[in-house]
Structure 1
């Protein structure tokens, strides 16, 4: 039998998963979409492992809806990096506090750094100069997804934010 804490975590993860699918339908360019805002929020509220799953899943749904424009192997690599991005983002927030301004800024910068320049560095050998065409849209999308995450989190009731059991404590 599932206990109430696990049930709440699974329910919230399911909601974030559904929101990743909705966001995957809001395209900026190709497979670049609003699928990662719920994953960022899930990483803050549920922890790094849930965030990693949401980041990978969100990107794969977005890529599938766009017809895997960069090929399935490339999108698997991007999904992997999205998972890493969300895991690190969630870990920073879990370790140093979800609402401290310094932690928020650092996690946002690290999230961007993994999702754009680091990912592009790894994809460059496979895509060559074509990857550079994604820099601006990916930067815009990442920043907007992070802003949506932080905006939603800022307006959540304190009671929801203080439920540390959601993050696995």
Structure 2
């Protein structure tokens, strides 16, 4: 199996996990759909994490009946993509300092997922953003916690997949 096929298979599995997580609702479309996106970002890089985040949120919103309208959920999915990019960038940039990279990327992900998202959505959703703050905080922290737990127990072969992929080995 080529590296490209493995990567595509992992992305498909992560989207499927994201869809499953999207069915574990906290409130409306707020669910455990971003955990596979965070994991994909660590393993496959920010670009693939962005893809998983977009589709994960859109399926979660679809299954909830787009409670905040399709345009709002497209904005949220786009913000999730931005979150995965920043999360992955920080993890990669400070990979030589693993504790700092984890802490900084988690803080950045929280700040993007909760206060920044709600600030951007305030003109559209008005007072609803105040209702969303607590469930969104809980979901974001649970998704990030699950990511760290699952990544910690993954076999080294999977953790090092992106290193193998970038070096051209495994084809």
TM-score range, shorter chain: over 0.9
- Alignment length (residue pairs): 167
Counterpart in 2 of 1:155?
A: 153
C-alpha separation in 1, matches of 2:75 and 2:91: 24
Q: CA deviation at 1:166?
A: 6.2
Does the C-alpha gap of structure 1 residues 94 and 166 become closer, same or farther in structure 2, counting only changes over 3 Å? farther
2:8 aligned residue (7, 10, 13): 10
C-alpha separation in 2, matches of 1:48 and 1:23: 20
2:30 aligned residue (32, 41, 44): 32
SS of match in other structure, 1:28: strand
The 8 Å contact of residues 5 and 165 in structure 1, kept in 2 or not, is answered as: no
Counterpart in 1 of 2:100?
A: 102
Pairwise CA RMSD of aligned residues? 1.6
Does the C-alpha gap of structure 1 residues 167 and 43 become closer, same or farther in structure 2, counting only changes over 3 Å? farther
TM-score, length-normalised on structure 2?
Answer: 0.92
Does residue 51 of structure 1 match 2:49? yes
C-alpha separation in 1, matches of 2:96 and 2:79: 22
The equivalences for 1:19-168 within 5 A come to 19-97=17-95, 100-165=98-163, 168=166
C-alpha separation in 1, matches of 2:112 and 2:5: 31
The 8 Å contact of residues 53 and 77 in structure 2, kept in 1 or not, is answered as: yes
The 8 Å contact of residues 44 and 161 in structure 2, kept in 1 or not, is answered as: no
Unaligned runs of 5+ in 1: none
Any idea what the Cα deviations from partners look like across 1:79-123, whole Å, max 9, x if unmatched?
110111011111211222288111001000000110110011100
C-alpha separation in 2, matches of 1:95 and 1:5: 24
